[in-house]
Amino acid sequence: MKTKYWNIYQANEKQQQEAIMEAGLLLQQGETVAFPTETVYGLGADATNEQAVRKIFQAKGRPQDNPLIVHVAAVSQIEKLVRNWPSYVDKLLEAYTPGPLTFVLPSNGTCTTSVTAGLDTIGVRIPSHPVARQLLSTCHLPIAAPSANISGRPSPTSAKHVWEDLYGKIAGVVDGGATGVGVESTVIDCTQDIPVILRPGGITAEQIEKIAGAVMVDPGLTTENGKPKSPGMKYRHYSPEVPLWIVSGSKGDIQATVHRLQTEGKRVGVMGKDSTILHLHANAAIKLGNTMEQVAANLYDALRTFKLGEVDIILCEAFSEHGMGQAVMNRLSKAATRVISLQ
């Protein structure tokens, strides 16, 4: 398959509109198109078209029991896909959408069973990225869109990442530049009286609690048993080419681990906050930023940057799980082959 590429973040307004129209037409025709959201790039297909949705699973090599998130342009479109929702959802919709928050609600069966993985619920969200919103408004469809990468690989935060993984496997890629948040949306189960976090992401537990009054965390978030209610719950994700170790300890502890591995003949890459990396000496190093928001935005690109043959192992410092740190540590734990606690 020939994969069409539209570079719209460097195009003029007319070229952007033409690209969006062309991409939207492909979606209407049952094809798969990758596009940017404010979290990561998504691989989209018509959520009401079973054959189109199957193309997502084929391109990604995604397990069939892993549900997909449906992206829409407006709350009125969510209403057409679900049966009902509790009153706190209205408050969260008003506060955080468009944005990186996915609502798991009772499905009315409009979307295909491949989207819901046979569950009686469906995950829906309204992305805030202007390109995503234009595309969704143009095609007038609910679009199922998991991350646009080979399953198990770090999620894509640029069109380059998508091209590396899916060229020749999908109909097109809309290049809208780098994404913003850098980790996927927060997913909350809204089928109960209190929202339950199924996957931490761009909206923190503290933010949800502020609006909804209370929030819980699903115990399945840390296990791989049973049928996943949300993407990111069951399968190992975000794996770099090179083995990744999370090191919980001081800068000195991390440097000592680097030294030990180097004496064993290993080439070591390190990644962490700028303030940590400044004090480390390794074969390669990537600074992720000074804040957890910056760390989240740079995480997946860093995981893709370290290549097998250049380093033999990656060490990443452990972060506090407060706020955005919860989402970052969730992704790192899914990517890591080992966690070392030296505290």
Quote the tokens at residue 145: 């869109």
Q: Are strands 268-272 and 313-317 parallel, antiparallel or unpaired?
A: parallel
Averaged in consecutive runs of 10 residues, what is the pLDDT profile of the chain (343 residues)? 93 94 98 98 98 97 90 97 97 98 98 95 97 97 97 94 97 95 96 95 96 91 57 62 95 96 97 97 97 96 93 97 94 92 80
* CA proximity to 237, closest of 159, 183, 195: 183
Predicted local distance difference test score (pLDDT) of residue 224: 54
Q: Beta-carbon neighbour count of residue 109 at 10 Å?
A: 11
Predicted local distance difference test score (pLDDT) of residue 243: 95
Q: In whole angstroms, what separates CA 297 from the centre of its chain?
A: 11
Q: Residue 340 forms beta bridges with which residues?
A: 247
Predicted local distance difference test score (pLDDT) of residue 319: 97
Predicted local distance difference test score (pLDDT) of residue 227: 55
Predicted local distance difference test score (pLDDT) of residue 230: 59
CA distance 312 to 33: 35
Cβ(151)–Cβ(8) below 8 Å: no
DSSP state of 153: S
Q: Is 264 exposed, middle or buried (0-12, 13-18, 19+ CB in 10 A)?
A: exposed
Q: Which residue has the tokens 């407060």?
A: 322
CA distance 211 to 203: 12
The backbone region for 213, taken as left when phi is positive above 0, alpha when psi lies in -120 to 50, beta otherwise, is: left
Handedness of CA 225, 229, 235, 240 (dihedral sign): negative
CA distance 266 to 260: 9
Quote the tokens at residue 300: 């997946």
Q: Beta-carbon neighbour count of residue 2 at 10 Å?
A: 8
* CA proximity to 17, closest of 28, 8, 26: 8
In whole angstroms, how large is the CA radius of gyration of the chain? 20
Predicted local distance difference test score (pLDDT) of residue 104: 98
